[in-house]
Amino acid sequence: MDAGIIGLPYVGKTTLFEALTGVAPDPGAAGAGRPNVGVADIPDPRLAVLASHIPTRKIVHAQLKLVDIPGLVRGSSEGAGMGNAFLSHVRNMDALLHVVRCFRKSPGGQEVAHVEGSLGPARDIETIELELIFADLQMVENALPRAEKAARKKDAESLARLSVLQKAMPLLSEGLPVRGLPLEGDQERKAFKGLAMLSAKPSLYVANVDEEDAAGEGELSSQVRAHAQQVGAEFVPVCAKLEAELSQVDEGDRAEMLESLGLDEPALHKLARATYKLLGLQSFYTAGEKETRAWTTPVGSTAVEAAGAIHSDIQRGFIRAEIYSVSDLMQHKSEKAIKEAGKMRVEGKGYRMQDEDVCHFLFNV
């Protein structure tokens, strides 16, 4: 599952990408139409809780893949800049982090020019979202004649594809996204997913703010917050300048800096967790002397599917899972005490994994 970082040029996308992943961007990537790709750890205080009760030599966080897509501009859907190349990368993403500029000055204190000539978060959001809609409209217009021809065969797959395209066309023509398009039956849902329309992708809005507005309560960031609320999306304010500074100091000084700003943790931690949620992912845990680790699985996964996230052999030879929660461990202090209290559950292949699950998988291959 990949999350793409999108936005206008010079809004701080690459700075956030580097702060999240620790990957230095390739200076030639944008000119070549290539995104920067990296992996970010998901900050998770439960891992420390597990390690405090079950001593371990190694802690491993869950991770997610982030793709820094070079800046889109007005007219990208018609090829402005390197728009078509960049939009093709967006189409491959499972979710989008839309970074919106709400800062006035660079980390060095200089005024930063804006591609539109002035600061306007609401306008900038509309610019990017219209480019995604226009790109979808072009795709639908090109696909409809072929879909109409294929539907003459009357097979369910072709008819479903044509129906989805016909439903999408009027919305896109009015400049509206296809997110929430009414779909009927599994065939239409499958066809819709296969079209990978840009304006259908779940989005999270990131207001890149000045240090004085780290909590995202200012006039500019409030425009982003209002739009996110209007479309039912998540909103996270981030000061890229501050986050870059925080990443360079030790833990004690970091806590002091955060306290002085009235923040309980770096905004990047909230952003990483919000992105994880946006992708429909959750963590389960394994804990032991050698390693305590958070594993990634889609929300709703079964126990046997979660076993496969660790190793295909465990999935293939799955017998059962012994499961308790992090809260159980906090209450009872040890796995032995959890068993004695009758809180260690034995679950089969069809068990749906829950938040906080700590697992021992029994298997035979």
Interval 233-251: pLDDT, tens:
999 999 888 887 887 788 7
Q: For the chain, what percent of residues have pLDDT higher than 70? A: 91
Span 266-270, mean pLDDT? 85
The upper half-sphere exposure of residue 230, i.e. CA atoms within 13 Å in the direction of its Cβ, equals: 8
CB 324 within 8 A of CB 358: yes
Q: Which two tokens stand for residue 329?
A: 């461990």
CA distances (Å), origin 140, targets 135, 152, 154, 250, 325: 9, 18, 20, 51, 47
Q: At 295, is the secondary structure helix, strand, or coil?
A: strand
The upper half-sphere exposure of residue 34, i.e. CA atoms within 13 Å in the direction of its Cβ, equals: 9
DSSP-assigned beta bridge partners for residue 4:
67, 96
Note the CATH number of domain 2-41+63-113+202-278: 3.40.50.300
* Predicted local confidence at residue 85, as pLDDT: 63
Note the CATH number of domain 133-200: 1.10.150.300
Kindly indicate the confidence band of residue 113, based on its pLDDT and cuts at 50, 70 and 90.
low
User: E strand or H helix at 204, and its extent?
Assistant: strand 203-209
Distance CA 95, CA 279 (A): 6
Span 142-152, mean pLDDT? 94
* CATH 1.10.150.300 domain position(s) in the chain: 133-200
* 25 vs 338 pLDDT, higher one: 338
The upper half-sphere exposure of residue 22, i.e. CA atoms within 13 Å in the direction of its Cβ, equals: 8
Q: Is the pLDDT of residue 92 over 60?
A: yes
Q: Is the pLDDT of residue 359 over 60?
A: yes
Fold of 300-363: Ubiquitin-like (UB roll) (3.10.20)
User: What global pTM score does this model have?
Assistant: 0.84
CB 318 within 8 A of CB 336: no
Tell me whether strands 318-325 and 357-363 are parallel, antiparallel or unpaired.
Answer: antiparallel
Amino acid at 137: L
Q: Which residues contact 282 (CB under 8 A, 6 or more apart)?
A: 276, 296, 297, 298, 299, 301, 353, 355
Q: Is the pLDDT of residue 365 over 90?
A: no
Q: Which residues contact 75 (CB under 8 A, 6 or more apart)?
A: 81, 83, 131
